[in-house]
Amino acid sequence: MVEWQQLLQSILLGLIFSYLLAKLISVVVSFKDENLTLTRARSSTDQVRPKSESKGGESRDEPSGDMGAVHDVDSVIAEHGSVRNESPAGSDDDDDDWEGVESTELDEMFSAATAFVAAAAADRLSPQKVSSDVQLQLYGLYKIATEGPCSTPQPSALKMAARAKWQAWQKLGAMPPEAAMEKYIDIVTELYPTWLAGLTLKNKGGDGDAPNNDSKGPMGPVFSTFVHEEESGNDFKMDAIHAFAREGEEDNLLKAIESGVSVNLKDSEGRTPLHWAVDRGHLNMTELLVSRNADVNAKDNEGQTPLHYAAVCEREAIAEYLVKQNADTVVKDNDGNSPCDLCDSNWPWMQHSANK
């Protein structure tokens, strides 16, 4: 009897042992299959983390599976950031012959949502637990949206998680990808009502990098423009009235004159408000100043009149107006040049009045 019991016991132990061994092997195998998710096994929503698209087929062992894969949460966020940042600039200048292959708003929204889910999983910023049912639902929708209807064989019953995911995918049948994307976004919005706001916030935070990366592209030349250098504070001085004239602020300028500021007040370079208005090309301001008895032949410290400025800056309408207001076309500056000498353009009224 004792022998019977011992025999039974050892058979049972053997069975249990071999079951465990088989289980262990299957676990190892399934880990190997899913090595991409292994590292995130502890995070609450790991099962819905988008996995590498397997369209790359044989290129799975290639050094990088960059095609659409969500390897790296940060870079995906950055990428979506840059895509979103670009859209205002590039949205509507070349639409004409586009033929329906663009990544639509839905595409972008969807990939933003997947990125958000991945980020939420990684950061564990979800206070509430997402039920595994919902996780599976998201997983199924993700697969439909990215790969279409499920066509892979059912995983073995021992791989519980893989099988549950497969079922979640398979039961959605031939759902259209767009519908899957919309549903996915709906669920994410329900779970995290503020996810979009959070995303835009992150974009703003990363302003320094993202647009740069985007406009400069991953490789190639660079478009550079002048660095704007603030002039160092030398002893240059100007009054408010000069700034009003420079900026074309007529109301402020009138107030200044009414409060008693001279219309011919000079800045430290000897320029009057009229010089500044002409320099910046404000015809209205020029007329206003002249109507307030500004001196059309006032000279700056280099002996130049507003008409010199108009000639050098090729402000044709202003120059013509000044000449009509009896501005001197032949008066010489300290270098001996008259407005006429400095004028590269062929303005007949300038030559004409100079010849008189």
Nearer to other proteins among residue 229 and residue 258 (C-beta)? 229
Nearer to other proteins among residue 83 and residue 164 (C-beta)? 83
Nearer to other proteins among residue 48 and residue 267 (C-beta)? 267
Q: How far is CA 62 from CA 37, 56, 316, 329, in A?
A: 18, 9, 65, 75
- Please state, in angstroms and rounded to a whole number, the distance separating the CA atoms of residues 164 and 132: 10
What type of residue is 258?
A: E
Nearer to other proteins among residue 14 and residue 90 (C-beta)? 90
Nearer to other proteins among residue 57 and residue 260 (C-beta)? 57
DSSP 70: -
Task: Tell me the closest approach of the beta carbon of residue 297 to other proteins, in angstroms.
Answer: 16
- Please state, in angstroms and rounded to a whole number, the distance separating the CA atoms of residues 27 and 38: 12
Task: Tell me the closest approach of the beta carbon of residue 277 to other proteins, in angstroms.
Answer: 11
What type of residue is 90?
A: G
3-class SS of residue 219: coil
Task: Tell me the closest approach of the beta carbon of residue 41 to other proteins, in angstroms.
Answer: 21
Task: Tell me the closest approach of the beta carbon of residue 181 to other proteins, in angstroms.
Answer: 13
In 3D space, the residue among 33, 52, 83, 73 whose CA is nearest the CA of residue 146 turns out to be 52
Beta-carbon-side half-sphere exposure of residue 140 (alpha carbons within 13 Å)? 24
- Please state, in angstroms and rounded to a whole number, the distance separating the CA atoms of residues 74 and 242: 50
Nearer to other proteins among residue 109 and residue 130 (C-beta)? 109
3-class SS of residue 111: helix
Nearer to other proteins among residue 116 and residue 276 (C-beta)? 276
Nearer to other proteins among residue 26 and residue 281 (C-beta)? 281
- Please state, in angstroms and rounded to a whole number, the distance separating the CA atoms of residues 75 and 73: 6
- Please state, in angstroms and rounded to a whole number, the distance separating the CA atoms of residues 215 and 86: 8
- Please state, in angstroms and rounded to a whole number, the distance separating the CA atoms of residues 327 and 323: 5
Task: Tell me the closest approach of the beta carbon of residue 16 to other proteins, in angstroms.
Answer: 44
Q: At what angle do helices 132-147 and 160-170 cross, to 10 degrees?
A: 60
Task: Tell me the closest approach of the beta carbon of residue 250 to other proteins, in angstroms.
Answer: 19
Q: Is 208 in contact with 216 (CB distance < 8 Å)? A: no
Supply 235's token pair.
């002893």
Task: Tell me the closest approach of the beta carbon of residue 38 to other proteins, in angstroms.
Answer: 18
Task: Tell me the closest approach of the beta carbon of residue 286 to other proteins, in angstroms.
Answer: 14
